[in-house]
C-alpha cells in the first residue's frame, strides 16, 4: 500500500474512532441521565429471560432477527459507498453505532451497577468484538468508493473481497451469537443469583 494511501486510511480510521467515541459519550450521558426509566424494563426483561431460559431454542424468527441485528450497521455503511455523500454519512453512522452500543451498556450499568456491566458483556460482547473490525473495513471501503464517486479519487476502488470476507465473518459471528450468548447470559445470571 503506498504511503499516501496508508496516511489517508489512518486518518479515516482516526476520524471514525472519534465519531464512534462521540456517539458513545452521548449514549453514556443519556443512559446514566435516565436510569430510573430504563431500570424496571431491563429488570423485567432479564427476569423473563431467566424464567424461560430452558425454552431458549433457535427458531427461524430468532435467527432472522439475529442476522438483522448483526448486519444492519455494516450493510448501511456498505450502502453509503454508492453515494457521493458517503463519507459524511459513514461518519454519522459511526457516531450512531457508538451511541447505540454505549447506550445499551450504559442502561445495564445504570440499572444494575457493576453486575450490569458483566451482563452487558455477556449479552453484547461477541457482537461488539466481531462487528467492529468489519464495520471499520467496510467503512474505509465505502469512503474510498464515495470519494471516487465525488471525483476525489482517480481510480475506481475494488471492494468485492472485503465485502465477501465481512459477510462470511458476520454470518459466522451471528451463528456463534445464537449459540453462545444465551449460555453466557445464563451463566452470568446464575452467578449473580448464587452470589446474592
One pLDDT digit (tens) per residue for the chain, 196 residues: 444 455 577 888 999 999 999 999 999 998 887 656 666 777 777 766 656 555 457 788 888 999 999 999 999 999 999 998 999 999 999 999 999 999 988 888 887 778 888 888 888 899 999 999 999 999 999 998 888 888 766 566 666 778 999 999 999 999 999 888 888 888 887 877 766 5
Residues 154-172: b if buried by 16+ CB within 10 A, e if exposed: eeebebeebbeebbebbee
CA 133 – CA 19 distance, rounded (Å) = 15
pLDDT score recorded for residue 4: 47
CA 175 – CA 181 distance, rounded (Å) = 10
Which residue in 94, 103, 115, 117 sits closest to 28, CA to CA? 103
The answer to whether 121 touches 43, Cβ cutoff 8 Å, is no
The answer to whether 185 touches 107, Cβ cutoff 8 Å, is no
The answer to whether 90 touches 138, Cβ cutoff 8 Å, is no
DSSP character at residue 54: G
Specify the 3-state DSSP secondary structure of 52. coil
Amino acid at each position: 500500500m503506498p504511503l499516501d494511501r496508508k496516511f489517508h486510511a489512518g486518518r479515516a480510521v482516526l476520524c471514525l474512532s472519534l465519531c464512534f467515541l462521540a456517539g458513545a459519550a452521548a449514549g453514556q450521558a443519556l443512559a446514566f441521565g435516565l436510569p430510573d426509566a430504563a431500570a424496571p424494563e431491563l429488570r423485567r426483561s432479564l427476569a423473563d429471560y431467566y424464567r424461560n431460559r430452558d425454552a431458549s431454542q433457535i427458531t427461524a424468527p430468532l435467527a432472522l432477527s439475529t442476522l438483522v441485528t448483526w448486519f444492519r450497521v455494516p450493510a448501511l455503511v456498505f450502502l453509503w459507498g454508492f453515494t457521493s455523500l458517503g463519507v459524511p454519512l459513514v461518519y454519522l453512522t459511526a457516531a450512531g453505532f457508538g451511541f447505540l452500543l454505549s447506550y445499551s451498556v450504559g442502561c445495564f450499568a445504570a440499572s444494575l451497577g457493576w453486575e450490569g456491566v458483566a451482563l452487558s458483556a455477556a449479552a453484547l460482547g461477541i457482537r461488539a468484538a466481531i462487528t467492529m473490525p468489519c464495520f471499520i473495513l467496510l467503512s474505509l471501503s465505502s469512503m474510498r468508493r464515495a470519494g471516487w464517486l465525488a471525483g476525489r479519487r482517480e481510480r475506481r476502488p475494488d471492494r468485492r473481497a472485503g465485502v465477501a470476507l465481512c459477510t462470511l465473518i458476520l454470518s459466522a459471528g451471528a451463528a456463534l451469537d445464537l449459540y453462545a450468548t444465551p449460555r453466557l447470559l445464563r451463566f452470568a445470571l446464575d452467578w449473580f443469583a448464587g452470589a446474592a
